[in-house]
Structure 1
Amino acid sequence: MAIALSTLVQEADAFLTASRISDYCPNGLQVEGRPQVSRIVSGVTASQALIDAAIEAEADVLLVHHGYFWKGENPCVTGMKQRRLKALLANDISLLAYHLPLDVHPEVGNNVQLARQLGIVVEGPLEPDNPRTVGLVGSLEEPMSAIDFARHVQQVLGREPLLVEGEGLIRRVGWCTGGGQGYIDQAIAAGVDLYLTGEASEQTFHSARENGVSFIAAGHHATERYGVQALGDYLARRFALEHLFIDCPNPV
């Protein structure tokens, strides 16, 4: 079955309430390809490797979390950007990208989907009084040590995480996928035993160690693989389309 590209974009925009969320990049249709869609390829980042894989898979739409045209980047279409855009346009493939709307969505969002993968029971937002907060707080069904939880994360995500071990067992967890290390202080204020995100900064170690809280950096890419898969599956079910998630390995 094929549907109009405009119909797919309208549904994705509305489902994610993309227009209501201020972001660092445009959300939605970033590159327009053929007008009809029957096959979606999804992935985390619109890298050249993912574009090449989408071409090989004969995709009509490439759906990603990390697209293009970020605030502050050089707007000139040269070098890497030129090669990526040229490949999409030459093969008539649309690029559909959602950043923060895909992080915060209560059904297909990266943070909710990561919680489901790790068996964390979601309690609510990291900062209930801050509508811009993308992180969440939740609990484990059974308390475990920080080392055991890190092993669990490694088993689920297929990547050895960076662990800063704190004090006591892990019962309450705060998390924000991707580059959310800056939220560690809010997580500490929320009373978590462990904070998990994708990346770490130098000062993250000190915040965790001096507050007795465990910290895990499990990889930006690794923690953000699940939202775009869930969104692609939703759109495929909604319109009876084909959907293929392609994971291009990234150690960061």
Structure 2
Amino acid sequence: MILTIASREFRSLFLSPMAWTILAILQFILAFLFLTQVEAFTTLQPKLASIEGAPGLTDIIVPPLFGNAGIILLLVTPLLTMRLICEERRNKTLSLLLSAPVSNIDIILGKYLGILGLMLLIIALITLMPLSLLFGAELDLGKLFANILGLLLLVNAFAAIGLFMSCIAGHPTVAAMGTFGMLLLLWILDWSVGMNDQRSELFEYLSILRHFQNIQSGLISTVDVSYFLLFTATFIALSIRSLDNDRLQK
């Protein structure tokens, strides 16, 4: 049932022009940024060749590309997730879904995997850009893998928050604004601490940007990976709990 709901959700995303439009705009923007970084490397290459320990092709192109992708997906995810449960509630189809012989876990995981399928498609298209450089250059595949893993964990967390907001909000616009606000807060959480030359271990741990950048650097630690897994599992569990309340009210 989870896969059935997920495939239905994934197909429904492409029935409207939103998914196609987002994919096209994302590819255009990220392709432009990618080519800009390639041009910058070509310009700097003669100078870098004379510097010992200078950053290579992978360092100059891959982390900025995936970092920019993370920022853009922070803006896009609320638009993709805002209708997951809110739209069902507004169209009066949530009652039918809750009365069907499927558990709340099946519904939430199916919705989550459906939106995650679109996210994986986006990541795959992004990954093709640096991989195209293999035709004429060498890449640090380990660092490329670290950036792919970091972005994958990041969008998992983004989708989980968006799903939860869609469960508790009464309108898709409210869900989108709530998702964006929470994601932005987690993204800039430790900025104010850094401005005052102070450190807060709590803010540093809660900062989603810090964990993402740690993985981007190529240092894949269990602390960063477990943070994203725990973060995602927590918001999925909260979404299931919210749907439990809706079922009890029915």
Q: Same fold (TM over 0.5)?
A: no
The structure with the largest alpha-carbon Rg is 2
For CA contacts below 8 A with separation 6 or more, give which structure has more relative contact order: 2
Instruction: State the TM-score, normalized to the length of structure 2.
Output: 0.29
Report which of the two has the higher share of helix: 2
Instruction: State the TM-score, normalized to the length of structure 1.
Output: 0.29
